[in-house]
Amino acid sequence: MQIACLVYEGLTALDIMGPYEVLCRLPGCELRFVARRKGEVRTDTGVFGIVVDHAMAELPHPDVFVVPGGLEGTFAAARDEETLAWVRGAHATSRFSTSVCTGALILGAAGLLDGLRATTHWAAAPLLEAHGATYTEERVVREGRILTAAGVSAGIDMALHLAAEIADEQTARTIQLAIEYDPQPPFDSGAPSKAGEALVAAARAALTQSAGSMRSGLQRAPRR
Amino acid sequence: MQIACLVYEGLTALDIMGPYEVLCRLPGCELRFVARRKGEVRTDTGVFGIVVDHAMAELPHPDVFVVPGGLEGTFAAARDEETLAWVRGAHATSRFSTSVCTGALILGAAGLLDGLRATTHWAAAPLLEAHGATYTEERVVREGRILTAAGVSAGIDMALHLAAEIADEQTARTIQLAIEYDPQPPFDSGAPSKAGEALVAAARAALTQSAGSMRSGLQRAPRR
């Protein structure tokens, strides 16, 4: 069982780290990070890099793959023919094809979501629907062997569903305990329906500004 | 407001990625990853590397710092005098000193937790108490300006508490919505008290085996 976590320039780190931390604990699974080229990839904030050991071309047919989201980086990846060809090729033979957050826009651009129910980050719902999908306000949406998860942190929940499918419920529960995933957020503002209009507007503004301002605030070492 | 996320060889990725994804969205904060030396650091599974731009010596006095956990790598870090000296120095002037999972063992080894209530990964409770702390089975434990979080995923909850302290509750709620942190795990086995004895035994075994077996299963490019 080969699992590929796609990484690309400008991804949101938690989108892939959540599923990774669950799926790397599946017994008998070989999990790899892949990118267009092996080497360093920077996240959306530019704060750190992720070193990827495998070019996507080395893993053309993983059993499972996870596509994370991001901001501008995701829009670029969704226009990149090499990335889209890899997604299509991987999906042709995969057991499960999955996305987190705006990673769904990459699945959509590859033509995988046309006519299906799917989810994405709440702020990206219209962009998802432009790919022929019906945005569904659920934490994880399954359509056959395609699983899409809502924004950023939803990948952890999605990966636990996936772990139960790939192995069994007992294994998924064991992983949940191993990562002590007993969430107790101090507030209940994690979804637009719970947060109210003012917070939705503030979060929408923050989403477009935070990564950019973070990057410009860094005086970091030159990229390699 | 300077926030330092400590990274070291063998850390558990989600331990630091959870808090990072929350705290990097705090307006006016400068968040940096630091390690003993700048450059690549490998996570506990060896699946990927994290590229860190700053040596810890470059940020001796962050306003806030986060220490993640791991397995063998954490025990090594907790014995490393350079790391412990940085933790002590940072704590001497910090507004908040924090840990996730077995990162508490590093705070403990630095002498920060003696006589205090604290939390860590449930499986590491006796190791925490060996440092003079009283293990407290809570998601986040605050003692003055020290916050410790439970295992792996608990760092997200801890960071939301912290965001509300550093900025305000409205800002923390906005961040929660931006990362769509509306957790809906498919199972309720995230804590020993909920999981039952059989799962606790299975998770305990998996914790000591998973990272090791993952590493040995990889045929990855030589480390740089």
State the average pLDDT over residues B33-55: 97
> How high is the pLDDT of residue A219?
36
Least confident of A11-20, A199-208, B158-167: A199-208
Chain B positions touching A33 (Cβ under 8 A) are 47-48
- Write the CA distances from A38 to A8, A35, A71, A83, B75, integer angstroms: 10, 6, 22, 14, 30
Contacts of B173 (CB under 8 A, 6+ apart): A187, A189, A195, A199
Which tokens go with B56? 């810890």
pLDDT tens digit sequence for A117-170: 999 999 999 999 999 999 999 999 999 999 999 999 999 999 999 999 999 999
Among A16-20, A28-32, A109-113, A204-208, the least confident range: A204-208
Q: How far is CA A94 from CA A28, A117, A131, B159, in A?
A: 17, 19, 21, 36
Distance CA A102, CA A69 (A): 4
| C-alpha–C-alpha distance, residues B106 and B143, integer Å | 16
What is the average per-residue pLDDT within A64-78?
Answer: 96
Neighbours of B144 (CB within 10 A): 8
The closest CB to that of A186, out of B52, B53, B157, belongs to B157
pLDDT, one tens digit per residue, over A177-202 is: 999 999 999 999 999 999 999 999 99
Cβ atoms within 10 Å, residue A195: 23
Please list the residues that pair with A194 across neighbouring strands.
Answer: none
How does strand A64-67 pair with strand A96-100? Answer: parallel
Contact list in A for residue B221 (CB cut-off 8 A) is 38, 53
Contact B177 A184 (CB under 8 A): no
Cross-chain Cβ contact B214/A24 below 8 Å: yes
Cβ–Cβ < 8 Å for B12, A20: no
This model of the complex carries an ipTM of 0.93
Distance CA A144, CA A141 (A): 10
Helices and strands per DSSP (H, E), number in chain B = 9, 11
d(CA A205, CA B2): 23
Helix (H) or strand (E) holding A51: strand A49-52
pLDDT at position A53 is 98
Give buried/exposed letters for B77-98 (b at 16+ CB in 10 A, else e): bbebeebbebbeebbeebebbb
Closest partner residue to A217 (CB to CB) among B30, B181, B186 is: B30
* In the predicted structure, residue B220 carries a pLDDT above the cut 80: no
What is the rounded distance in angstroms from the CA atom of residue B191 to the CA atom of residue B168?
29
- Mean model confidence pLDDT for chain B: 93
Rounded to whole angstroms, the Cα distance separating A80 from A83 reads 5
Residues B76-103 have a mean pLDDT of: 98
Q: Is the separation of the CB atoms in B47 and A31 below 8 Å? A: yes
* Contact residues for B201 (Cβ-Cβ < 8 A; gap 6+): none
* Contact (CB<8Å) B207/A178: yes
Three-class SS of residue B177? helix
Pick the residue from chain B with its C-alpha nearest to A175.
Answer: B203
Single-letter amino acid code for the residue at A150: A
Q: Which residues of B touch A183 (CB under 8 A)?
A: 153, 156-157, 181, 183, 185, 190
Using one digit for the tens of pLDDT, what is the confidence trace for B140-156?
Answer: 999 999 999 999 999 99
In chain A, the largest separation of any two C-alpha atoms, in whole Å, equals 47
pLDDT band with cut points at 50, 70 and 90 for residue B219: very low
Residue A168: how many other CB atoms lie within 10 Å: 11
pLDDT band at B215 (very low <50, low <70, confident <90, very high): low
Q: Which two tokens stand for residue B61?
A: 């006095």
Distance CA B149, CA A39 (A): 32
pLDDT at B214: 52
What is the mean pLDDT of the segment spanning A98-119?
Answer: 98
Which pLDDT value is given to residue B174? 96
Quote the minimal CA–CA distance from A154 to chain B in Å: 7
Helix or strand (DSSP H, E) at A54: strand A54-55
Least confident of A202-211, B67-76, B128-137: A202-211
Which has the minimum average pLDDT: A45-49, A133-137, A219-223, B156-160?
A219-223
Least confident of A210-214, B66-70, B171-175: A210-214
Q: What pLDDT does B208 receive?
A: 73
Is A157 close to B185, i.e. CB distance below 8 A?
A: yes
Q: How far is B91 from chain A (nearest CA, A)?
A: 22
> Are A185 and B38 a contacting pair at CB < 8 A?
no
Q: How far apart are CA A3 and CA A12, in angstroms?
A: 19
The confidence score (pLDDT) of residue A208 equals 73
Note the pLDDT tens digit of each residue in B111-141.
999 999 999 999 999 999 999 999 999 999 9
Give B139→chain A minimum CA distance, Å. 7
How confident is the model at residue B154, as a pLDDT?
97
Please give the model's pTM, rounded to 2 decimal places: 0.94
Q: Where are the alpha helices (DSSP H) in chain A?
A: 13-23, 72-77, 81-93, 103-109, 125-129, 154-166, 169-178, 192-195, 197-217
Of B49, B154, B195, the CB nearest to A173: B195
For residue A101, indicate whether it is catalytic: yes
What domains, with CATH codes, occur in chain A?
2-178 (3.40.50.880)
pLDDT at residue B14 greater than cutoff 60:
yes
User: What band does A210 get if pLDDT is binned at 50, 70 and 90?
Assistant: low
pLDDT at B222: 36
- At position B84, the amino acid (one-letter code) is L
The mean per-residue pLDDT over the stretch A105-110 comes to 98
Q: Which of B144-153, B164-173, B197-206 has the least mean pLDDT? A: B197-206
Catalytic residues of B: 101
Verify whether the Cβ–Cβ distance A169 to B187 is below 8 Å.
Answer: yes
Q: Is the pLDDT at B212 greater than 60, yes or no?
A: no
| A217 has a pLDDT exceeding 80 | no
Mean pLDDT on B69-91: 96
